[in-house]
């Protein structure tokens, strides 16, 4: 009987979260964008990129990419890592 009460309550609480529309994150076009989308979006939302852009310069983006690969085990190929950093620096680095 208790489950009959708890399940609708949980469903009601989860409903608004499941229906939330975050919208699509559109990154700037440029060389390396495909590598960013292919590698970064497999683990986290791409809103991380513009959200952190006011704070990160080249060294910051290099550190972030290296952290994702070395500390978190992101499966980024050695060929893609410099392309990702270059794209982030060119389009989203702190000026």
Instruction: Report the mean per-residue pLDDT for the chain.
Output: 84
Burial code (b: 16+ CB inside 10 Å, e: under 16) for 6-18 equals eeeeeeeeeeeee
Largest interatomic CA distance in the chain: 61
pLDDT at 57: 96
Is residue 7, in this structure, part of any structural domain at all?
no
Q: Classify residue 16: in a domain, yes or no.
A: no
The encoded tokens of residue 68 equal 């994702």
Inside any domain, residue 5? no
CATH number of the domain to which 47 belongs? 1.10.760.10
Banded pLDDT at 18 (limits 50, 70, 90): very low
21-59 pLDDT tens trace: 456 788 999 999 999 999 999 999 999 999 988 999 999
pLDDT of residue 62 exceeding 70, the answer is yes
Residue 24: its pLDDT value, please?
Answer: 76
Q: How far is the CA of 51 from the CAs of 5, 6, 22, 25, 63, in angstroms?
A: 40, 37, 14, 11, 16
Domain limits at 77? 23-92
Higher-scoring residue by pLDDT: 28, 15: 28
Q: Is residue 47 part of a domain?
A: yes
Residue 55 lies in a domain: yes
DSSP 21: -
pLDDT score at 86: 98
In this structure, what token pair is assigned to residue 56? 């990160």
- Count of structural domains, the chain: 1
Please tell me the predicted confidence (pLDDT) of residue 14.
54
């Amino acid at each position: 009987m208790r489950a009959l009460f708890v399940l609708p309550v949980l469903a009601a609480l989860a409903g608004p979260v499941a229906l939330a529309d975050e919208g699509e994150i559109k990154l700037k076009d440029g060389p390396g964008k495909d590598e960013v989308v292919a590698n970064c979006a497999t683990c986290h939302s791409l809103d991380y990129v513009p959200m952190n852009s006011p704070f990160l310069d080249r060294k910051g983006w290099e550190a972030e990419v290296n952290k994702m690969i070395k500390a978190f085990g992101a499966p980024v190929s050695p060929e893609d890592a410099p392309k990702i950093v270059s794209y982030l620096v060119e389009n989203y680095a702190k000026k």
